[in-house]
Structure 1
Amino acid sequence: MTTADRVARPSILTVDDDPAVSRAVARDLRRMYGEHYRVVRAESGAQALEALHEIKLRGEEVAALLADYRMPQMSGIEFLEQAMDVFPQARRVLLTAYADTDAAIQAINVVDLDHYLLKPWDPPEQNLYPVLDEQLRAWAVSDRQPPQRVRVVGHRWSPRSYEVRDFLARNNVPFRWHALDEPEARCLLTAAHQDGTTLPVVVTAQGKALVDPSDADLAAEVGLSTRPSADFYDLIVVGGGPAGLGAAVYGGSEGLRTVLVERIATGGQAGTSSRIENYLGFPDGVSGGQLTERARRQAVKFGVELLTTRDVVALERRGAARVVRFGDGTELAAHTVILATGVSYRLLDAPGLGALTGRGVYYGASTTEGPNCAGQDVYLVGGANSAGQAAVYFSGHARKVVILVRGDSLEQSMSRYLIDQLEAIPNVEVRTHTEVVGGTGEDHLETLTLLHNKTGETTTVQASWLFAFIGAAPRTDWLDGTLARDSHGFLLAGPDLGGSPAGWDLERAPYHLETNVPGVFVAGDVRADSVKRVASAVGEGAMAVTLVHRYLERS
């Protein structure tokens, strides 16, 4: 076998902090698989990650990862979670002692574990090789084509460049960002016959250049679905946050022809969270992106259509059909509709900040901006869980993270586990009774004016980064005159409608999550008096599907 052939072999990587065990695993693997696979041995998670990055740079593949559960500094689960980002198709096996089997089972939810293997595995012919044979066969038949990356050229402080990056990231489209002053950016612009006057420029994996594309055009070019395959469905789900994804998964799994319509990207506000630690079944936490992607894959598995960049602007009752109209004038009809449009963060009402949106002032957290904050101060406005999760994330990048809270503490609005975490992070500061009352900057945010609402004292601070997590605007104006809402715009349903609402023409009262239009249901944060938590939103989405079935059976 030539040297070139050897380099091209896929790798099996094993990591164990016990040198004797590490050598024994590698020995047994080379004996059985050395002819066709390159066996790589590491004695720590950090060393193993470094080896993976080297393999990635060489353009080679990794077929399987075997990691010891109990390792100092970085556990086997933590290593596998990071390794997933480098080689997502590699099969993941956890090496555990007998006492660790419960932890191994829990790891299935965290890192999509493919198998856990008890130590010792002697004889390998009976306990090791059959397991690896099965995993390597599964890897061999999987689609391992590396994703073709989209490339984005833009200005760091351009609002539209930020929106495009955020759109691609939230829709799990692999891309590479090139700031305008990079040599590669100039080469791409030259190849696209652009001078950089109009940005961003998006170069698709197929080499097509898109100059300042709309979200809809961008979605179509990168392979996202924007057009329905049919004119009529059993169920239309409007909104792709936790409630909408929950409804879509349960609708599809129970045989309803279901389509989910999303304006920007699935996940909603929860999808932008860097870490959710109080969601059932994920004891080590899960990022909003990971949770969203798993839910999206589940929905697709059950035959649900997912449409992006579709803005629903009207809802009509047309006989037995319920019809939604999109911003482009097209329509989609179904027997039933579940509205799960969630809420959006309220804008900061302070002079100077409006013009700086997308140029240092952001609403919600964007994990794509984390590395750009390195060594700088980050200011966060808000005292709920979303602000706390963002603070934990940005603390790993920024010099200092300052949380600005109007009230006297975080106790009433933030979960205790997050408060405890924040108190333990040295570069996180909480300023109570503090509001943002102004901001300045030329190309981007440069200063903030802060008001202490108890003393009336104002201070000006240097700041390039401000992330706001305040209030909850339901964005239901498009339903005015169609569905009943409370004084804040949240949708009323079930008992909150007060028996038989105006226009209700059925003998029965509305079901628990049913609006004043029969067959139209609401789930999640957009419902009046809902519990603003991911788990409750998912539960309401599932419950709404049960009520959809009840409605269809009696119609």
Structure 2
Amino acid sequence: MTSASPAPATGPASGQARIGILTVDDDPSVSRAVARDLRRRYGKNYRIIRAESGQQALDTLHEMKLRGDQVALLLADHRMPQMDGIQFLERAMDIYPKARRILLTAYADTEAAITAINVVDLDYYLLKPWDPPEEKFYPVIDNELDQWKRSDHTPVAQTKVVTTRWSARCSEVKDFLARNQVPFRSYLSDDAEGERLLAAAGVTAGQLPVVITADGQVLVEPSDSELAGQVGLTTDPAEDFYDLIVVGAGPAGLGAAVYGASEGLRTVLIERLATGGQAGQSSRIENYLGFPDGVSGAQLTERARRQALKFGAEMITTRDACAVEVNGSARTVRFADGGSIDAHTVILATGVSWRRLEAPGLDEFTGRGVFYGSALSEAPASKGQDVYIVGGANSAGQAAVYFSRYARSVTMLVRGPSLAASMSYYLIKQIEGIENITVRPCTEVVAGHGTDHLEGLTLRDSATGQEEQVATGLLFVFIGAAPRTEWLDGVAVRDARGFVLAGPDLMLDGERPVGWEHDRDPYLLESSVPGVFVAGDVRANSVKRVASAVGEGAMAVTLVHRYLETR
């Protein structure tokens, strides 16, 4: 590829933030050449970004999305290993659906380009090489940029968050925004820009976090519900009565919402924090049907959320269910803030929470270096750091792989002798191939140390009893699953660990549960309260996998129909 003197560029006016053009090609020389040609003509008014793998490009797009940056054009080479150009563009559509998409192909790949037109709504495919670019390259790019400018690409409104590094609440706010797909940019209070924002808002550094919404509203130390209301999330139901209330928006709840709404049920989905549950925090799910190259929990969650909304389901966030009541034929869900909502049926899909790590010194550092779950919003802060991860199941492994892209080192602390007993084989092999991940079997955390944040850990080798201290400011914990079902005390029958019993599990010695008033046995996923069903990880004896949770959510809707027809 060659390039002559650059022609006048099109793009945003001088002084405005530059919009991105991203190119991805696994051949470094070709990647540099494409970026060079783009930069010579468009670099004055567009930010030219190049990547040498699909995954690297996706990571870049995620970071840009989080900052609220715009991307006008994506150029992807078709023949790339691990993730080809079509696969990349399909996943990039979830991040920047308005960006124009161009596939770079050789003459032998024209069939692939035709396929891409159907799979990713391709805007153009370019044959390599283009020489001269003035005739074969720039006219195409000019046209695509012109088409992008004519489309509705209103800049994504960006929220600003002023925080301090070691604050549990500041971490929670950033995590809340990230998990709810709200674009934001974070500033430390002692940075120049952070100080300027605080001064403009008339707030002191002792009142953090401060959230400044896209329309200029200043929220000082906001609650989750206040935050949700100001950034465009729905917090109140539109109606008083529904056919189906789904409590919990993890994979099971989202599956139930999609199938319930698509089958004509007036469906409302209630979520305490953010859609996706634990799966939504996963950096990569590679064994979910239909995604051979894997999908991030955030991507899967966002697709499911859009799908449920498309079919007419309502989604209510930051409402914490605290009781279920039977009121005649209605089922009432009460909220911790005093509100309530009624429906014919309820599906409990509240999932599970990570168990706390019982070791001296850790509780006080929760949110200040100690995190339960992946807390993906903390990944940029781990750059150049030594990260420790407790746990040996898939969630811990996925987090280790993700943080290995940022951290200097990632150490997995596993109580058992190996990962084999609790982790999928594909993930074990992946971890073995990453140089900066170390697995330490038979190791547990016995203490945490620090002043205002975590600064070190005491580790014990359970085989030898030997202890050692290690320096670290970041610990992520993935140990076991604890259901949040205390609010069902005296209502639904649960097992000794708090998981909700359903269907055949309720039939002790063939007898129906105490208080059961129907002349039939409980349906397969029906709890001890007729018309109240349970799906996903919160159900006793469930299979703790994303696919099974989604399947149970769909199955529960089928049983809801059966209940409504026969009650």
State the TM-score bracket (shorter-chain normalisation).
0.7 to 0.9
2:529 maps to which of 501, 506, 517: 517
Instruction: Compute the displacement of 1:99 (Å).
Output: 7.8
Note closer, same or farther for the CA distance 1:135–1:248 as it changes in structure 2 (3 Å cut).
farther
Aligned to 1:157: 166
Note closer, same or farther for the CA distance 1:81–1:161 as it changes in structure 2 (3 Å cut).
farther
Q: Distance in 2 between matches of 1:380 and 1:108?
A: 42
1:477 maps to which of 478, 481, 486: 486
Matched, 1:533 2:533: no
In structure 2, what residue type is equivalent to 1:149? Q
Instruction: Map 1:399-478 onto structure 2 (within 5 A).
Output: 399-478=408-487
Matched, 1:200 2:209: yes
Could you tell me which runs of 5 or more consecutive residues in structure 2 were left unpaired when the two chains were aligned: 1-6, 14-18, 129-136
Asked if the contact 1:45–1:76 (Cα under 8 Å) also holds between the matched residues in 2, the reply is no
Matched, 1:280 2:282: no
Asked if the contact 1:98–1:118 (Cα under 8 Å) also holds between the matched residues in 2, the reply is no
Instruction: Compute the displacement of 1:195 (Å).
Output: 1.6
Note closer, same or farther for the CA distance 1:252–1:104 as it changes in structure 2 (3 Å cut).
farther
Aligned to 1:6: 10
Aligned to 1:302: 311
Instruction: Compute the displacement of 1:66 (Å).
Output: 4.5
Aligned to 2:557: 545
Q: Which moved more, 1:256-265 or 1:458-467?
A: 458-467
Asked if the contact 1:44–1:71 (Cα under 8 Å) also holds between the matched residues in 2, the reply is no
Instruction: Compute the displacement of 1:460 (Å).
Output: 1.2
Aligned to 1:76: 85
Matched, 1:115 2:115: no
Instruction: Compute the displacement of 1:45 (Å).
Output: 4.9
Q: Distance in 1 between matches of 2:116 and 2:359?
A: 46
Q: Distance in 2 between matches of 1:280 and 1:501?
A: 36
Matched, 1:501 2:513: yes
Note closer, same or farther for the CA distance 1:262–1:74 as it changes in structure 2 (3 Å cut).
closer
Instruction: Compute the displacement of 1:95 (Å).
Output: 5.0
Q: Distance in 1 between matches of 2:438 and 2:20?
A: 45
Asked if the contact 2:357–2:477 (Cα under 8 Å) also holds between the matched residues in 1, the reply is yes
Instruction: Map 1:277-426 onto structure 2 (within 5 A).
Output: 277-426=286-435
Instruction: Compute the displacement of 1:5 (Å).
Output: 8.3
- SS of equivalent to 1:525: helix
Instruction: Compute the displacement of 1:88 (Å).
Output: 4.0
Q: Distance in 1 between matches of 2:283 and 2:23?
A: 28
Aligned to 2:242: 233
Note closer, same or farther for the CA distance 1:87–1:294 as it changes in structure 2 (3 Å cut).
closer
- SS of equivalent to 1:332: strand
Asked if the contact 1:260–1:304 (Cα under 8 Å) also holds between the matched residues in 2, the reply is yes
Note closer, same or farther for the CA distance 1:88–1:547 as it changes in structure 2 (3 Å cut).
same
Q: Distance in 1 between matches of 2:459 and 2:282?
A: 26
In structure 1, what residue type is equivalent to 2:77? D
Aligned to 1:125: none
- SS of equivalent to 1:406: coil
Note closer, same or farther for the CA distance 1:71–1:378 as it changes in structure 2 (3 Å cut).
same
- SS of equivalent to 1:446: strand
- SS of equivalent to 1:219: helix
Asked if the contact 2:372–2:477 (Cα under 8 Å) also holds between the matched residues in 1, the reply is yes
Instruction: Compute the displacement of 1:105 (Å).
Output: 9.8
Q: Which moved more, 1:280-289 or 1:494-503?
A: 494-503
Note closer, same or farther for the CA distance 1:99–1:554 as it changes in structure 2 (3 Å cut).
farther
Note closer, same or farther for the CA distance 1:93–1:501 as it changes in structure 2 (3 Å cut).
farther
Note closer, same or farther for the CA distance 1:133–1:213 as it changes in structure 2 (3 Å cut).
same
Aligned length: 527
Note closer, same or farther for the CA distance 1:448–1:203 as it changes in structure 2 (3 Å cut).
same
Q: Distance in 1 between matches of 2:9 and 2:564?
A: 61
- SS of equivalent to 1:466: strand
Asked if the contact 2:21–2:49 (Cα under 8 Å) also holds between the matched residues in 1, the reply is no
Aligned to 2:134: none
Q: Which moved more, 1:445-454 or 1:69-78?
A: 69-78
Instruction: Compute the displacement of 1:94 (Å).
Output: 3.6
Note closer, same or farther for the CA distance 1:418–1:104 as it changes in structure 2 (3 Å cut).
farther
Q: Distance in 1 between matches of 2:202 and 2:48?
A: 48
Per-residue Cα deviation, 1:287-328 (whole angstroms, up to 9, x for no partner): 101111111111111111110000000000111000000001
Instruction: Compute the displacement of 1:219 (Å).
Output: 0.4
Note closer, same or farther for the CA distance 1:322–1:139 as it changes in structure 2 (3 Å cut).
farther
Instruction: Map 1:38-49 onto structure 2 (within 5 A).
Output: 45=52
Q: Distance in 2 between matches of 1:520 and 1:243?
A: 15
Per-residue Cα deviation, 1:234-258 (whole angstroms, up to 9, x for no partner): 1000000000000001111111110
Aligned to 1:124: none
Note closer, same or farther for the CA distance 1:546–1:141 as it changes in structure 2 (3 Å cut).
farther
Instruction: Compute the displacement of 1:166 (Å).
Output: 0.2
Per-residue Cα deviation, 1:308-364 (whole angstroms, up to 9, x for no partner): 000000000111000000001111000000000000000011111010100000000
Asked if the contact 2:20–2:48 (Cα under 8 Å) also holds between the matched residues in 1, the reply is no
1:259 maps to which of 264, 268, 274: 268
Asked if the contact 1:95–1:116 (Cα under 8 Å) also holds between the matched residues in 2, the reply is no
Aligned to 1:148: 157
Q: Distance in 2 between matches of 1:61 and 1:312?
A: 37
Per-residue Cα deviation, 1:110-134 (whole angstroms, up to 9, x for no partner): xx7223878879xxxxxx9xx9999
2:500 maps to which of 491, 496, 514: 491
Report the TM-score when normalising by structure 1.
0.85
Q: Distance in 1 between matches of 2:375 and 2:343?
A: 34
In structure 2, what residue type is equivalent to 1:395? S
Could you tell me which runs of 5 or more consecutive residues in structure 1 were left unpaired when the two chains were aligned: 28-33, 122-127
- SS of equivalent to 2:550: helix
Instruction: Compute the displacement of 1:93 (Å).
Output: 4.4
Note closer, same or farther for the CA distance 1:530–1:98 as it changes in structure 2 (3 Å cut).
farther
Q: Distance in 2 between matches of 1:105 and 1:281?
A: 21
Q: Distance in 2 between matches of 1:244 and 1:311?
A: 15
In structure 2, what residue type is equivalent to 1:412? A
Aligned to 2:16: none
Instruction: Compute the displacement of 1:92 (Å).
Output: 2.8
